[in-house]
């Protein structure tokens, strides 16, 4: 039986990524979760989502760069993406992983590159810093605070907090205090019991607690979940506390629970679809499978049926 732990180990395998990138069936399945491999092809899927009342957050896949030259390629892609969003009048902001901007080379490189993106984005474009494995949580938040609190304070940037980390309640309080925009998710990396809850009930309990704090005192939080129990808990808390639908948004993944996305939009909830693109799709796709390993059999059957 393929478990979540095995799938996450596979996600980190360079050999498996090389094999999958040259495998037609693997690529066919990945395209369920990826809008396109090329930036110039992303406009149509975004327009389709927008036409259904769904906003978007575009993410260029390419985490874990190992040279400054690679990080510069990522920066240039995002600079072109900002222009594309504006030219095509797309209802979309962007998400970025700091390891794609050189975080594993140094915090200063990632911060410098992120500053370039925020300057190019301007006040009308929002940039969300994705959260990665727990080993990078401190450095990711350090970069965010450097830009948020610096002499040239940026307000077109937000961050992600993962409910499965023990530290997240403290991080949420600090972010609420400074007025930052937070996306709350459960977390999709392999973490040990010293830093993360290991049982779904604990992760869910943490998610609900943090969701309530963000809805009550946060700044337009993004509640990122496909779990109906979490969706219902959010709706109930918002109703009980007279929190309008314009004070927060649900965020969901491209290709995951599409009918739920549309149903919530029809009911008047704000929905944003996290929409990745690029040819470095293997790690992302494996993490999606790891969130629900039971989906692997379904996915393989779908591919084989064509």
**Domains of the chain, first to last:** 34-280 (3.20.20.220)
| Residue 215, phi then psi, degrees to nearest 5 | -65, -35
Handedness of CA 108, 111, 114, 118 (dihedral sign): negative
CA-wise closest residue to 132 among 165, 171, 176, 173: 165
**Neighbour-count burial for 7-31, b at 16+ CB within 10 Å, e otherwise:** bbebbeeeebbeebeeeeebbebbe
User: Which string of DSSP letters, residue by residue, matches 87-129?
Assistant: HTT-SEEEEEEGGGGTTTT-HHHHHHHHHHHHHHH-TTS-EEE
CA distances from 101 to 18, 107, 113, 164, 198 (A): 22, 9, 6, 25, 30
DSSP code of residue 61: -
pLDDT at 12: 52
Instruction: Tokens for 287, please give them.
Output: 């993490």
Catalytic amino acids? 130, 183
CB neighbours of 169 closer than 8 A, spacing ≥ 6? 206, 209, 210, 213
Q: How far apart are CA 75 and CA 121, in angstroms?
A: 12
Handedness of CA 139, 144, 148, 152 (dihedral sign): positive
Please list the residues that pair with 249 across neighbouring strands: 222
In this structure, are residues 184 and 216 in contact, taking their beta carbons and an 8 Å threshold? Answer: no
pTM higher than 0.85 for the full model? yes
- Please report where in the chains the tokens 């040819």 appear, as a residue: 279
Segment-wise mean pLDDT, segments of 10 residues, the chain, 306 residues:
53 53 60 86 97 97 90 97 97 97 96 98 96 96 96 95 98 98 93 96 98 98 97 98 98 93 97 92 66 53 44
């Amino acid at each position: 039986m393929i478990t979540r732990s095995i799938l996450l180990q596979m996600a980190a395998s360079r050999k498996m990524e090389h094999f999958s990138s040259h495998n037609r069936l693997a690529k066919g399945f990945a395209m369920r979760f990826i809008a396109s491999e090329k930036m110039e092809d992303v406009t149509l899927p975004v327009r389709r989502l927008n036409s259904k009342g769904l906003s978007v957050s575009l993410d260029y896949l390419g985490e874990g760069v190992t040279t400054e030259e690679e990080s510069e390629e990522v920066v240039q892609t995002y600079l072109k993406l900002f222009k594309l969003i504006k030219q095509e009048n797309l209802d979309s902001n962007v998400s970025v992983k700091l390891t794609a901007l050189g975080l594993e080379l140094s915090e200063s490189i990632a911060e410098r590159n992120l500053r370039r993106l925020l300057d190019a984005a301007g006040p009308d474009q929002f940039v969300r810093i994705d959260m990665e494995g727990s080993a990078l949580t401190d450095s990711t938040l350090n970069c965010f605070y450097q830009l948020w609190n610096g002499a040239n304070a940026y307000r077109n940037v937000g961050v992600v907090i993962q409910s499965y980390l023990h530290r997240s309640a403290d991080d949420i309080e600090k972010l609420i205090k400074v007025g930052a925009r937070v996306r709350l998710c459960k977390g999709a990396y392999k973490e040990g019991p010293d830093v993360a809850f290991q049982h779904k009930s604990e992760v869910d309990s943490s998610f609900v607690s943090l969701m309530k704090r963000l809805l009550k005192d946060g700044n337009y939080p993004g509640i990122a979940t496909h779990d109906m129990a979490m969706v219902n808990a959010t709706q109930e808390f918002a109703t009980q506390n007279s929190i309008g639908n314009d004070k927060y948004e649900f965020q969901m993944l491209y290709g995951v629970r599409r009918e739920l996305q549309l149903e919530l939009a029809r009911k008047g909830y704000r929905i944003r679809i996290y929409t990745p693109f690029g040819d470095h799709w293997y790690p992302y796709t494996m993490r999606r499978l790891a969130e629900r390993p039971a989906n692997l059999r379904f996915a393989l059957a779908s591919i084989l049926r064509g």
